[in-house]
Amino acid sequence: MRSAEPMLPSGPWGLLYEVNQRDPYNREAYHRVLQFLLSLDGLRASSLAAVVDFAWSVAGQRPVGSPLLLLPAYAQIEQRRARTDPLWRRQWAEDPALGYTLNAFHDWFRKAPPGLCSVSDLNHLAYALWAGHQYLEASEVFEAMGPYVAREPWASVHDGAAADPGEALLLRARAESLSFSRKRRPRAGPHP
């Protein structure tokens, strides 16, 4: 079935419409469509473009309180899997990636009940904020994660050669963000 969005290929859009009628902004349904788009035959670049277009389209609907605001981050992680670019991380500090990431932070993370945030979504948001140099916001997400982590996106976006480079990147991002946050927070009590 053709999409109403001209930039998207044929796909399960009728099924997604039905899901939206029953459970608007269902996280699982949209992630399944993302996986469908990634599985399309043809040039990998065109498939990735469709994934990014879809993610931006969904996030552009501004579903406040929905983890779907993170869909652009998931799409960009998929781009990283497809190519190696030493400057890849710079995209997170520029628009549109930074704008979508900050929207997800303010309109999902800050507004969603803490117990309903998935570990995977928190890890993707923490990575996107850290890579975008938003260390204060990233520290809030790392604190909310507590001791829980997910292998992704860290295993897909590392650029090191450690025994477990994904874990090394996670620990580095967490340490940098929390350290930055401690230095920037006002101290309690009187100041000399």
The reported pLDDT for the residue numbered 6 is 61
Angstrom distances, CA of residue 87 to CA of 80, 157, 190: 11, 12, 44
Q: How far apart are CA 84 and CA 148, in angstroms?
A: 28
The reported pLDDT for the residue numbered 14 is 86
Q: How far apart are CA 71 and CA 158, in angstroms?
A: 20
The reported pLDDT for the residue numbered 110 is 95
The reported pLDDT for the residue numbered 68 is 93
Q: Give the 3-state secondary structure of residue 157.
A: helix
* Identity at 85, one-letter amino acid code: D
The reported pLDDT for the residue numbered 157 is 81
The residues near 156 (Cβ < 8 Å, ≥ 6 apart) are 77, 80, 81, 166
Reference 151, options 171, 167, 139, 127; nearest CA is 167
The reported pLDDT for the residue numbered 156 is 84
The counts of H helices and E strands in the chain are 9, 0
- Regions of the chain with pLDDT less than 50: 191-192
The reported pLDDT for the residue numbered 109 is 96
